[in-house]
Amino acid sequence: MGVPSDGSYGIPEGLIFGYPCTTCASGKYQVVKGLEHNDFAKAKIAATQKELTEERAAIEHLLK
């Protein structure tokens, strides 16, 4: 689920990122914490974080 990061899994706070989440009937969600990632998954997460950070930086001037 794409949600604003709370810093989980080393992703910078506020970056919209895909996390495993649980939801409840009220519509609230919670990021699932403590999952272990293998080296392949860590590399993919790092690549995604880099791409999203670069995209945000490219449009940052539009947000001011």
H-run or E-run covering 47: helix 39-59
- 31 neighbors 21 (Cβ within 8 angstroms): yes
Burial class (CB in 10 A: 0-12, 13-18, 19+), 11: buried
30-58 core/surface letters (b: 16 or more CB in 10 A; e: else): ebeeeeeeeeeeeeebeeebeebeeeeee
The predicted pLDDT at position 63 comes to: 79
Q: Residue 64 pLDDT > 80, yes or no?
A: no
Q: What are the beta bridge partners of residue 23? A: 29
pLDDT band at 28 (very low <50, low <70, confident <90, very high): very high
Report whether pLDDT(42) > 80: yes
Question: How sure is the predictor about 62, in pLDDT bands with cuts at 50, 70 and 90?
Answer: confident
Of the two residues 62 and 30, the one the predictor is more confident about is: 30
